Structure formats: C-alpha cells, structure tokens
Structure 1
Amino acid sequence: MRRMLFWIVIIVVVVPLAYIRLAPSDPARFNRQAKPVDTATELRTGGYVWRKVLEEDGQNALRSLADAAAATPRTQALAGSVEEGQITYVTRTKWMGFPDYTTFGIYDTPKGERYLEAFGRARFGRSDLGVNAKRIKGWLAALK
C-alpha cells in the first residue's frame, strides 16, 4: 500500500512539476507581438501589454529594455535580437520554474507610426497574479 501511494504521489505531483520545469520553449510560438489591444492592458490570460508611440527609431529604448531583462535573475533570451527589432525572454519562477515570456519589439502601425511594445504572458495557467505587469513596469523604469 505504501509503495502504491508513493507512485501515485510521483505521478500526480512530480511528473507535472518536471514537465513545467523542463518543457521546451518554441521560439516560433512565443517570439511574437501582441494582438491589438489598448496601450497598457492587463490581459485575462495571465499577461500584460504596454505600448508607446516612438518619436525616434527606438533602438536605444529597445536596447535598454533588453539590458534590464538580461540582468534579471532566472531570465534568458529565447529568440530575436535588438538588431532584428524584436527579442523574447523567458523568466522562470524561483521555486516551481513556471515560465513567463516577455517580447520587446518595435513595430509599425497602419498609419506609419512606429511604436515600442512590451508583451508579457504566462505559459501555464490563467492568471499570473500581476507578476508580468510588475516585471515589465520594473524594466520600463530603465527607460527613464
């Protein structure tokens, strides 16, 4: 009976946690811009989008955001680069290793304006309890 309980715990608890920690991140799925929403919006699906129309080319702002993200613990680049105009980072939670994806990019509007976007979202679950918004707002402080 104890042995059976041990295996049930392994299957129900350890296997899902191992999957969350070790699941591969597909750059094609996560290195993308957000769908059209308001300028700064908390998403219902555990995410956050921030946008700002640029008056300059935006490369310096994108580089500042990328530097701030790269200096964050448990954060690594997944795809893209500042030179490409879009870069995605993966930040994992300290204990459980849940991945959050943040994409910074410079994009054009249909009217010809350029804007800088920060798009953060959780991979697992429906809510991130505001963690992506807080992280992005912290990185945006690097722009000031």
Structure 2
Amino acid sequence: MNKRMTLAVLILIVAAGAMAFIRLAPTDPSLWHLALDPRPLDIATPSPDKVTGLPNGAYADLIAAPDQSQALLAKLDGIALATPRTIRIAGSAETGRITWQTRSAFWGFPDYTTAESTPEGVTLYARQRFGAGDWGVNAARLTAWISAFNA
C-alpha cells in the first residue's frame, strides 16, 4: 500500500470513529433537563416570540397568560416531536418542563432544547452538545417552531 492510500484509509477510520462517537454517545437527561433561567444577562425582559441567537444555542420567550402556559407547552411538544430526528428525553407539559433532543441529519450531532412554563408563558433554551458554535442551527429551529406555533 502506498503512503497516499494509507493516509486515506487512516482518515476514513478517524472520521468513522468520530461519527460513531457522536451518534452513540449516551444522553443523560439529568445533565440537560434542568430547572433553568437561561435568559442572557443582556435581555432584561422577555420579548414575545423573539429568538435570540447565542454563541452555542438560542433563547426565546413565548408570552401567554399564566393559565395558558401548560397548554402552550403541550402544543409546543407536538410541534417539536413533528420535527425530524427529534425525541423527548424528559418531562411533560403536566410537569411544566420538557427537554427534546434533535440530531443533525448526516453526523447526528445532538442539540438539546428545554421549554419551561413561567408566569409569563414559556421559556425556550436550545443548545448544542458538541463543538464551539452551532452556526445558527438552534436559532433556526426555534424560529421554525414559533412560526409553526403561530400558524
């Protein structure tokens, strides 16, 4: 085998190993399904239906009357579960908090989105598990979910 062929095989083995690690890494709901107030410090008050991109994720507030938060969360659960490659990993509308995992199509990178009932409505916080930046994927997903919710 020549050096080029050996290098090509080695690169393929490393890429396959990385892909297997990403796809097969277990998800521990206790690490992702936490009570949180993820509102970035520079966002003093909730902005209805506005998605704020963060370096490694996105944030949004859906405004609703206090007695409508659970219904809003239940509707959001249906929208999330209709998203390709998305599963619920913990919670329910009844408990007031749900966390979903959405995987990218090719590599299977997992992103986690937590929605939590608040007195103002529902807070959404989407974040990536691996890497240094999400390239706007989480903000785009939250925007699509909010658009589907308002449709």
What is the Cα deviation at residue 81 of structure 1? 0.9
Looking at structure 1, the residues matched to 135 and 39 of structure 2 have their Cα atoms a distance apart, in angstroms, of: 22
Q: What are the superposed Cα offsets for residues 93-129 of structure 1, whole Å, 9 maximum, x if unpaired?
A: 111101111111113xxxxx44311111111112111
> Does residue 1:87 correspond to 2:93, yes or no?
no
Looking at structure 2, the residues matched to 35 and 71 of structure 1 have their Cα atoms a distance apart, in angstroms, of: 25
Root-mean-square deviation (CA, aligned residues, Å) is 2.0
> 5+ unaligned residues in a row in structure 1: which ranges?
108-112
Aligned to 2:23: 21
Aligned to 1:12: 14
Query: Counterparts in 2 of 1:8-87, with a 5 A limit?
Result: 8-9=10-11, 11-32=13-34, 33-37=36-40, 38=43, 39=46, 40-45=51-56, 47-57=57-67, 58-87=69-98
What is the Cα deviation at residue 6 of structure 1? 6.5
Asked whether the 8 Å contact 2:113–2:125 carries over to 1, the reply is yes
Q: Secondary structure at the match of 2:135?
A: coil
Which one-letter code corresponds to 1:22 in the other structure?
L
Provide the aligned length of Structure 1 versus Structure 2: 138
Which one-letter code corresponds to 1:72 in the other structure?
T
Aligned to 2:115: 104
Asked whether the 8 Å contact 1:51–1:118 carries over to 2, the reply is yes
Asked whether the 8 Å contact 1:64–1:142 carries over to 2, the reply is no
Decide whether aligned partners of structure 1 residues 17 and 34 sit closer, same or farther in structure 2, where only a CA change above 3 A counts: farther
Percent of aligned pairs with the same amino acid: 38
When normalised by structure 1's length, the TM-score is 0.84
Looking at structure 1, the residues matched to 39 and 87 of structure 2 have their Cα atoms a distance apart, in angstroms, of: 26
